Amino acid sequence: MFFRWDWLRPQLTAPIVPTLGPIHPDALTAGIFEDVLRAADTGGFLPYDKDRRWGGEKNEKVLREDVVHQPEHTLVPTLTQHGRGAVKVFVYGPRDSIVEEAAELAAKLASVHDVAGARVVRPLGPDTVHPRGTRIQLKDFTTDPCPAPDGPVRPVTDWPTAVQETFAPFAKAMAADGLAFLHTQMQAGRCGPVLTAVIEDRIVGAIGPMEIQPDAIGRPQLMPQYFAVLPETRGQGLGRILWRAAMHWGQSHGAAYQLLQTEIGGPSDRLCQTEGLTSLGFTHTTPA
């Protein structure tokens, strides 16, 4: 075992694991950190990695020889070659001065690996005052019912053909939210159902794909979705209807929970807060 749990556990203010993202607190163990080190050697996906559903190769790996693991803090650098490439250093520890050390390490490793980006990722606890970045949120399907909402929402394949054909221009318009990528996966038949909202026979919102996979301890997890509503149709409650339809789908198909990351203060963040999700903490990413 490389990681000492008695050192690392007190440093985990939020359940974020390098290369994997948010992890359910019940599954957060030293074993998961050991797993990402082993995956760095093989270059493959871990069985519970949410990105494995897209196929291909894992884009991000831990630079295991450069990990700093000490009683008071831990730094875990990762490398991605996607695009112009980037090094991210995940900072675990209470002292602000650690961020400077992490920034120096990120800049050094970005130079060594000849990539353009160098960033520091710092998980922060749920009691953080005036947080920035993203919020980690938990939807627990075992506590309350998630009834199906009333509204013009169906899986895209349940609409008439003419309506289905409006998904392509919708996806193109919302490419910045990942809908163009989702559309390519849909066309290739490589993803689960996508729920869509329709106004006047035109798709104006979507959430998906709807898929469930076991997490690191075998609990069924509803995977993160792409989620977008056309700007000109916002303010009519379509986002909330889509969200509730997705939660109904997840609960009725046996998911135990879902984890999400939302931009603090953004529309999805406000929606999740009003829907009663539990905040598990935050992540703040800064350039090195």
DSSP state of 127: T
222-275 pLDDT per residue, tens: 999 999 999 999 989 999 999 999 999 999 999 999 999 999 999 889 999 999
42 pLDDT above the threshold of 90: no
Q: How confident is the model at residue 94 (pLDDT cuts 50, 70, 90)?
A: confident
Please report, rounded to a whole number, the percentage of residues in the chain having pLDDT higher than 70: 100
Which whole-number Å values give the CA distances from 110 to 37, 39, 67, 90, 131, in the listed order? 19, 21, 14, 14, 27
Per-residue HEC secondary structure of 139-182 comes to EECCCCCCCCCCCCEEEHHHCCHHHHCCHHHHHHHCHHHCHHHH
What integer pLDDT is reported at residue 44 of this predicted model?
A: 86
Report the C-alpha gap between 251 and 237 in whole angstroms: 21
pLDDT score of 82:
81
Q: What's the CATH superfamily of 143-255?
A: Gcn5-related N-acetyltransferase (GNAT) (3.40.630.30)
Structure tokens at 55: 């196929």
In this prediction, residue 242 carries a pLDDT of 97
CB distance 242 to 267 below 8 Å: no
240 contacts 197 by C-beta, under 8 angstroms: no
Distance (Å, rounded) from C-alpha 64 to C-alpha 257?
31
Least confident of 1-5, 93-97, 223-227: 93-97
Counting every residue, how long is the chain?
A: 288
> What's the pLDDT at 1?
79
What pLDDT is recorded for position 244?
97
Listed by start position, the domains of the chain span 5-128, 143-255
Residue 133 per-residue DSSP state: S
- What lies within 8 Å, CB to CB, of 56 at 6+ separation is none
* H-helix or E-strand spanning residue 17: strand 16-17
